Amino acid sequence: MSAENRFDQAAEEWDSLEPRKKMIRAISERMFERLPLNAEMDVLDFGCGTGLLSLRVADQVKSLTGIDTSSGMLNTFEQKATQMGLKNTQTQWLDLTQKMEIPGQYDLIVSSMVFHHVKELNPVLVLLHRALKPEGQLCIADLDLDGGLFHENAVDVFHNGFDRKAFAEALKTAGFSAVEVTDATSITKPVGDELRSFSIFLATGEK
Ligand SMILES: C[S@@+](CC[C@H](N)C(=O)[O-])C[C@H]1O[C@@H](n2cnc3c(N)ncnc32)[C@H](O)[C@@H]1O
């Protein structure tokens, strides 16, 4: 099954899993603590899913654009934005792994838990770099190396987490400066009979 189908099917139930909501809320808080928002900013959420990361701060920025390869996820994002009465959000189906150009220019690009689904990082990072305004910021949250234990259903998972140094180098190679990788949060979940904790990093870079 393709990632598109899997996430389409998961979209309706995506927000009902409490540990996931808690994890993304923690990522979002940490991210926007580091990168303060303001009402002039155009923000892009790459692999936005249902908007757990970014919809909660949409009313603090000028515009929020969500891009994703799952129509199901994008539909849920749009329904939530409507229910919240937001008028400054939009979505677009876009697959950066197919070298599709991102429309528009952004002050901030955020992404949570997407890059482990991206086989080749560099072409996607280059497209994100190109879509930033001068001095625009990128902020990515993803798993530290997880030994392949985080995903029960490993379909379309191309990386068992990332080594922080290698991820920082990937950002630099794609043209980002002032690259930093810090702790975001952790999530505890059952693996077999044990509870395991998985840490998540925040990688930031500037154009
Ligand atoms: C684990 S979910 C994370 C969703 C959301 N960012 C969150 O934190 O709740 C991964 C998301 O990335 C999307 N995705 C996977 N590969 C993608 C790609 N090449 N381009 C854009 N989105 C992609 C999936 O459709 C899915 O919505």
Among 2-6, 80-84, 194-198, which is the least confidently predicted range? Answer: 2-6
Does residue 2 have a pLDDT over 70? no
Domain boundaries, the chain: 3-179
pLDDT at 15: 87
Which residues have any ligand 1 atom within 6 Å of their CB? 3, 7, 24, 47-49, 52-53, 68-70, 73, 95-97, 112-114, 117-118
Element (H, E) at 190: strand 177-191
pLDDT digits (tens, 9 = 90+) for 106-147: 999 999 999 999 999 999 999 999 999 999 999 999 999 988
Rounded average pLDDT over 55-82: 97
Question: Helices 121-130 and 164-173 sit at what angle, rounded to 10 degrees?
Answer: 50
Candidate from 1, 75, 92, 114 with most ligand 1 atoms within 8 A of CB, to mutate: 114
Structure tokens at 115: 């890059």
Strand partners, 188: 197
- The 8-class DSSP code of residue 14 comes to G
Ligand 1 midpoint to CA 174 (Å): 20
Let me know how long the chain is.
207
At residue 1 the predicted structure's pLDDT band, cuts being 50, 70 and 90, is very low
Strand partners, 51: none
Residue located nearest, by CA, to atom 13 of ligand 1 = 47
At residue 12 the predicted structure's pLDDT band, cuts being 50, 70 and 90, is confident
* Ramachandran region, residue 128 (left: φ > 0; alpha: ψ -120 to 50; beta: rest): alpha
Element (H, E) at 197: strand 194-206
Element (H, E) at 20: helix 18-34
Dihedral angle at the C-alpha atoms of 179, 185, 189, 194, nearest 10 degrees?
A: 90
Element (H, E) at 95: none
Structure tokens at 189: 């979940």
At residue 202 the predicted structure's pLDDT band, cuts being 50, 70 and 90, is very high
Task: Give the position, in ligand 1's atom list, of the atom nearest the Cα of 4.
Answer: 25
pLDDT digits (tens, 9 = 90+) for 24-64: 999 999 999 999 999 999 999 999 999 999 999 999 999 99
Q: Which amino acid is at 11?
A: A
Chain mean pLDDT for the chain: 93
Ligand 1 midpoint to CA 97 (Å): 12
Strand partners, 112: 141
pTM of the predicted model, to two decimals?
0.95
Strand partners, 180: 204
* Ramachandran region, residue 162 (left: φ > 0; alpha: ψ -120 to 50; beta: rest): beta
Ligand 1 midpoint to CA 143 (Å): 14
Does residue 11 have a pLDDT over 90? no
For residue 207, give the nearest of 141, 127, 100, 119 by alpha carbon.
Answer: 127
Ligand 1 midpoint to CA 117 (Å): 7
Does residue 99 have a pLDDT over 90? no
CATH placement of domain 3-179: 3.40.50.150
Ligand 1 midpoint to CA 188 (Å): 21
At residue 75 the predicted structure's pLDDT band, cuts being 50, 70 and 90, is very high
Apex 51 CA angle, 48 and 52, nearest 5: 115
Ligand 1 midpoint to CA 12 (Å): 14
Q: Read out DSSP for 76-91?
A: HHHHHHHHTT-SSEEE
Structure tokens at 169: 């180098």
pLDDT at 157: 87
Does residue 10 have a pLDDT over 50? yes
